[in-house]
């Protein structure tokens, strides 16, 4: 199942799995567990807080409620979690298991949340949005505001290729002038419930329903932004936060510019080859648009094909446009390797799911430092792809003997 048309369960899993003291229990078939786990493994193998009832033929005939009880008991014994989130799949929804009735037997033991994740009831984005909202509706948010400026970050994802590095880079950019209370992709239940203490939510194009809920119930304003790739992306983030809190970030901007340009000077000769280079990008709205702006406005590339994973998007049409283009680079997920292979051009992985690369070094993709790392990765992929026959290289021009 390819993520651009993935099911509701995958979105719910992605939204909830970033809560570190919570266990995700999939009440579904083994394939759902295998798929979600497979996309997660390269993120952090040491943090596998999930289980599955592995719905069988017997459950289909006699119902899967006993299997759900057994799985909950096992999860409690194995993980000793603060909470468990049940995400149902297609089969358990079709056979009509009384999940709410099963969960009522555990309400005196620990908090258990339930999210409907059947694929026939929606797609990935809907599952993501509804899962965060459902969790919020079941929590009591602490509303006493902190005195210093505080924000929450929504839209970063637990399975992001550079999640931890990007979070640290955002914190570094903001410095000690603004505190981040909660990043929904990397938090505890306690930190999630502390979201009500913030003054502002920054929404990277995902988590809108949660942001609207917090505005309606807790009076927290929110700002929607694209991912802050590059110097301008980081400056836009600083301007948005600075204008809201009346904070001057000019010193931080100047330092970031100086440090980034110092690094980029080493690649100046190579950077000139980027001007007008045709590329294609596929990804979620905030990521793809933010990356497009960075690559075009800061590196001078030409995005000839842009595929945004949204309602009505037809992947087959996008692929056909890419094949007909003169694209020399593909930016996307591991799944877009098929496109890159056919065109014989490099693939830069930046977008979920990335299951054939790992990131264990301190190399973010966001902000000024991220710009340096993206440029470095592009150059390395281009050099490594010297035998590609696509728009980057012509074998006859290499004078190979």
Q: In this predicted model, what pLDDT tens digit does every residue of 199-231 receive, in sequence order?
A: 999 999 999 999 999 999 999 999 999 999 999
Span 3-137: which CATH code?
3.40.50.1980
Q: Look at 194 and 388; give whichever has higher pLDDT.
A: 194
CB within 8 A of 241, min separation 6: which ones?
Answer: 149, 151, 174, 178, 200, 202, 247, 249
pLDDT digits (tens, 9 = 90+) for 53-106: 999 888 888 888 999 999 999 999 999 999 999 999 999 999 999 999 999 999
pLDDT digits (tens, 9 = 90+) for 75-84: 999 999 999 9
pLDDT of 399 = 45
CB within 8 A of 1, min separation 6: which ones?
Answer: 7, 10, 35
Q: Of the candidates 167, 172, 128, which has an alpha carbon nearest to the alpha carbon of residue 43? A: 167
- Three-state secondary structure of the chain: CCHHHCEHHHHHHHHHCCECCEEEEEECCHHHHHHHHHHHCCCCCCCCCEEECCCCHHHHHHCCHHHHHHHHHHHHHHHCCCEEEEEECHHHHHCCCCHHHHHHCCCCCCEEEEEECCHHHCEHHHHHHHHHHHHHHCCCCCCCCCCCCEEEEECCCCCCCCHHHHHHHHHHHHCCCCEEEEECCCECHHHHHHHHHCCEEEECCCCHHHHHHHHHHHCCEEEECCCCEHHHHHHHHHHHHHHHHCCCCHHHHHHHHHHHHHHHHHHHHHHHHHCCCEEEEEECHHHHHHHHHHHHHHCCCEEEEEEECCCCCCHHHHHHHHHHCCCCEEEECHHHHHHHHHHCCCEEECCCCCCCCCCCCCCCCCHHHHHHHHHHHHHHHHHHCCCCCCCCCCHHHHCCC
d(CA 63, CA 67) in angstroms, rounded, equals 9
Residue 396 C-alpha from the chain's centroid? 41
- What residues does each domain of the chain span? 3-137, 150-256, 260-396
* 260-396 has the same fold as 3-137: yes
Q: Phi, psi at residue 49, to the nearest 5°? A: -95, 60
Let me know: does 64 contact 95? Beta carbons within 8 Å.
yes
Average pLDDT over residues 367-389: 84
pLDDT digits (tens, 9 = 90+) for 228-255: 999 999 999 999 999 999 999 999 999 9
Span 260-396: which CATH code?
3.40.50.1980
pLDDT digits (tens, 9 = 90+) for 276-314: 999 999 999 999 999 999 999 999 999 999 999 887 889
> What's the start-to-end Cα distance of the chain, in Å?
43
CATH architecture of 150-256: 3-Layer(aba) Sandwich (3.40)
CB within 8 A of 273, min separation 6: which ones?
Answer: none
């Amino acid at each position: 199942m390819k993520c651009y048309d993935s099911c509701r369960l995958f979105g719910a899993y992605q939204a909830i799995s970033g809560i570190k003291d919570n266990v995700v229990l999939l009440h579904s078939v083994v394939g759902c567990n295998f798929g979600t786990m497979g996309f997660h493994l390269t993120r952090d193998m040491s943090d596998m807080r999930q289980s599955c009832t592995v719905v069988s033929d017997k459950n289909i005939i006699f119902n899967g409620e006993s299997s759900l009880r057994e799985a909950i008991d096992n999860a409690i014994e194995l993980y000793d979690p603060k909470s468990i989130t049940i995400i149902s799949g297609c089969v358990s929804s079709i056979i009509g298991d009384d999940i709410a009735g099963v969960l009522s037997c555990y309400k005196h033991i620990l908090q258990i949340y339930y999210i409907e994740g059947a694929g026939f009831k929606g797609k990935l984005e809907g599952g993501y949005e509804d899962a965060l909202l459902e969790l919020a509706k079941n929590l009591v948010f602490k509303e006493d505001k902190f005195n210093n400026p505080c924000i929450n970050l929504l839209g970063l994802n637990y399975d992001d290729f550079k999640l931890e590095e990007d979070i640290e880079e955002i914190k570094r950019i903001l410095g000690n002038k603004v505190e981040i209370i909660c990043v929904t992709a990397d938090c505890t239940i306690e930190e999630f419930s502390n979201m009500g203490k913030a003054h502002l939510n920054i929404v990277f194009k995902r988590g809108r329903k949660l942001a609207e809920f917090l505005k309606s119930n807790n009076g927290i304003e929110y700002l929607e932004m694209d991912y802050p790739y590059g110097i301008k992306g980081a400056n836009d983030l600083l301007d948005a936060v600075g204008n809201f809190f009346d904070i001057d970030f000019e010193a931080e901007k100047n330092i970031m510019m100086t440090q980034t340009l110092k690094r980029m000077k080493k690649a100046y000769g190579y950077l000139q080859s980027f001007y007008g280079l045709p590329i294609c990008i596929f990804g979620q709205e905030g990521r793809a648009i933010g990356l497009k702006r960075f690559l075009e406005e800061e590196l001078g590339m030409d995005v000839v094909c842009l595929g945004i994973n949204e309602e009505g998007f037809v992947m087959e049409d996008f692929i056909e446009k890419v094949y007909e283009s003169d694209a020399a680079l593909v930016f996307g997920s591991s799944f877009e390797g098929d496109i890159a292979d056919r065109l014989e051009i490099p693939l830069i992985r930046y977008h979920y799911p990335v299951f054939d690369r790992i990131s264990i070094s301190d190399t973010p993709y966001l902000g000024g430092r991220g710009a340096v790392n993206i440029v470095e990765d592009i150059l390395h992929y281009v050099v490594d792809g010297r035998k590609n026959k696509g728009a980057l290289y012509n074998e006859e021009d290499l004078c190979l003997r």
